[in-house]
Amino acid sequence: LFRSKMMNDHNIVRKMYACETMGGANYILSDKTGTLTENKMTLVSIYDNTSVRNASDPSYKISQNVSPYFEILTDSMSCNIDVEVDSEGNQTAGSKTDYSLYKFLQVVTQGNITKISSNYKIIERIPFHSQRKRMSTIIQKNGKYYAYLKGAKEYVLPACETYIDSSSNNKRLDKLHLDTVNKVSSEFASQTHRCIAIAYKELKDISNIKAINNNRDINDGLGEEYEIEKKGFTKECVQF
């Protein structure tokens, strides 16, 4: 009866034991996304391991940028997102964060993301989990296999050993660079921006790729970290 009364007051709880807590609450503090805002997200800036650049920079277009760095960046952003859109490009399902990356790719490819996705084949995907705070996708491209990792900076950076700068140079990820990344991230965090780190690595041994999900839904599991996500990555960028 108590639960029914709370439902009539538009206070819906999924677990019976939560009714006592919710019924005795004087104040409820909720996430502002979707309440104080329109629940719409936009990619604003990209730290490309050299400098912070505006995501609307004209050079972020396939027709004007053919560098290895840019190719890796667009591959990782296109294959490693969880979003569904209709024929007009409007989101119908998936993550709002990932949809912001999709919109960026729409601009980059001038409305034709298949320019990127047609160049690789998705082999396996480990979906995002709230405890894992990361998502991984494995692709095959030009006869090679790559793993792409995306998620919270605190979970992605420990798996990285090197980073690639905007000139496509691969460098050792040292303390000086980490301090710079943390400083840039803190500045954006103080402006309430969400920080997403992206990394990749080439896979030499793919014998156990098919067994990654172990025939079960990871979203119903504990959201553990998979061996393939733990080390050997090259940091691409941090996005805000």
Active site residues: 31
Cα-Cα end-to-end distance for the chain: 46
Segments in 12-152 forming alpha helices (H):
18-23, 68-79, 96-108, 114-117
Q: How many CA atoms lie within 13 A of 168 on its CB side?
A: 9
Distance CA 31, CA 96 (A): 14
Backbone angles phi, psi at 171, to 5 degrees: -130, 155
